[in-house]
Amino acid sequence: MAWVAARPARVLAVVLVLAVVGGGLALWRLSPSAATSTLVGSGSASGRATDIVHRRFGDDAVYVLVRGDLPRLVLTSDLNRLLGLEGCLSGNAPAGAAVPGGASGACAALAREKPVRVVYGPGTFINSSVEELTAQLQGRTRARAAQADRAKEAATKLALGQGRSAAEARKLGKQAEQLVYAQFAQELLALNAKYGLNLTGAPKVNDPDFVYQLVFDPARGARVPKARFAYLFPSADSALVSVRLKAGLSDAARARAVALIRSAVAMPEFKLDGGGRYVVTGVPVLAGDLTSVLSASILRLLLVAVAVMALVLALLFRSRLRLLPLGLALCTVAIVFGGLALLGLPLTMASIAVLPVLLGLAVDYAIQYQARARSVRSICTAALATAVGFLVLLLSPVPMVRGFGALLVVGVGVALAVALTAGTAVLALASRRRASAGAVARSLRGAGELFDGAGGALR
């Protein structure tokens, strides 16, 4: 440490510059993340399986839980509002139609940015069922009409071939045609019994009889939905809209998508008249909320830790430099987290857990070095043993635990380096100041003695 002691001002200036730059980078570029990739390694079997699922079906779903009386939701005009919300969330703006909320609203933003891969919801399900049943009904109608024409023609030809009159042949042909239509009517009756269809028309979204037969199971209760639709209707008092985001979205894009979904469900255009309300939840929502908590907690955690350590150092030590270990620890934290930001790594729960541990270790090394500056080897040995202990965490299969261990190992090295450089520089400057003050005091005492001797001689 002789080199540092010989030029303490320069060394201290370099460390302070690194700390200031590191702190600035940490505040400016370090972004929190609570992604599931911090919990499961991409190389593990579960990680690879998760990636495959995300590529094929989209990222984790955002769920919009509709809480309220289910019959009132699906058997009234609220169903149209829910269907409109699902269309808004899917980002499929109807061509030529006005977008709910206008060009600056959440629906328009979802349509422009396209963060959603697919939406599954009660409104979409019922509307798709109507379209599918209508298509099947129209197809069967056309098929039966063609069959009736063929039966009529065949019966007419057969009657004429048997030598019957043209009028009688036409009558038999008409009867054959009516027989086919009668069979078709029986099919429609079966469909009516199963789905609540009206023989005089196709099923409609706003037909309560059809929707009731489609969704509910009267055998289990008048308000109880069918068990096979539990993914859409979990209970008689709730419905579920699943919004699957696109795979590969960045943390910022995912947070933006969640914010737009929350804005969309709060729009007055989709407010339910029946008293139902929307609750937005799901893994992306929880991860985003956790990210916000991380952002707010790290500064609060740092301030509390600094205040507590400053109080402890002030109470336990009486030296003029009793807060020096805390200053060195703050430099260590700034440099470590600044490096984290410089490398483009996110701020995870593990990174935040490192903060108090790193502060404590850095203060400990600084106190030991300040108390016994000549025992550098023992302090380095203790730091090496600590780092080796944390290296064991790198064997963990959990990425967050590995990150915790790696960051602590780096932090131990930086804390030791700061203590040996900046700590030595401050102690050297303090020693020079004391030496200079002592020399001045001795000169003043000598001058006083000289004047006292001169005064005695004059007397």
Residue 410: closest CA among 344, 349, 357: 357
pLDDT for 458: 37
Torsion of CA 353, 355, 358, 359, to 10 degrees: -140
- Inform me whether the pLDDT recorded for 99 exceeds 90: no
pLDDT for 140: 84
- Per-position DSSP letters for 104-137, written without gaps between them: TSHHHHHHHH--EEEEE-HHHHHHHHHHHHHHHH
Q: Which residue has the higher pLDDT, 306 or 5?
A: 306
Kindly report, residue by residue over 108-150, the tens digit of the pLDDT.
Answer: 999 999 999 999 999 999 999 888 888 888 888 899 899 999 9
Residue 225: closest CA among 376, 122, 80: 122
The pLDDT confidence band at residue 98, using thresholds 50, 70 and 90, is confident
Q: What percent of the chain has pLDDT over 70?
A: 86
- Inform me whether the pLDDT recorded for 271 exceeds 90: yes
- Spatial strand order in the sheet of 277-282: 116-120, 238-245, 61-67, 277-282
Given CATH 1.20.1640.10, say whether it is the number of domain 2-39+289-431: yes
So where are the chain's domains?
Answer: 2-39+289-431, 57-286
* Average pLDDT, integer, range 5-18: 87
- Inform me whether the pLDDT recorded for 32 exceeds 70: yes
Kindly report, residue by residue over 16-28, the tens digit of the pLDDT.
Answer: 999 999 999 988 8
Kindly report, residue by residue over 362-413, the tens digit of the pLDDT.
Answer: 998 888 887 765 578 888 888 999 999 999 998 888 888 888 899 999 999 9
pTM > 0.95: no
- Inform me whether the pLDDT recorded for 95 exceeds 80: no
Contact 60, 193 (CB under 8 A): no
The pLDDT confidence band at residue 33, using thresholds 50, 70 and 90, is confident
Non-local CB neighbours of 195 within 8 Å, separated by 6+ positions: 133, 203, 210, 213, 214
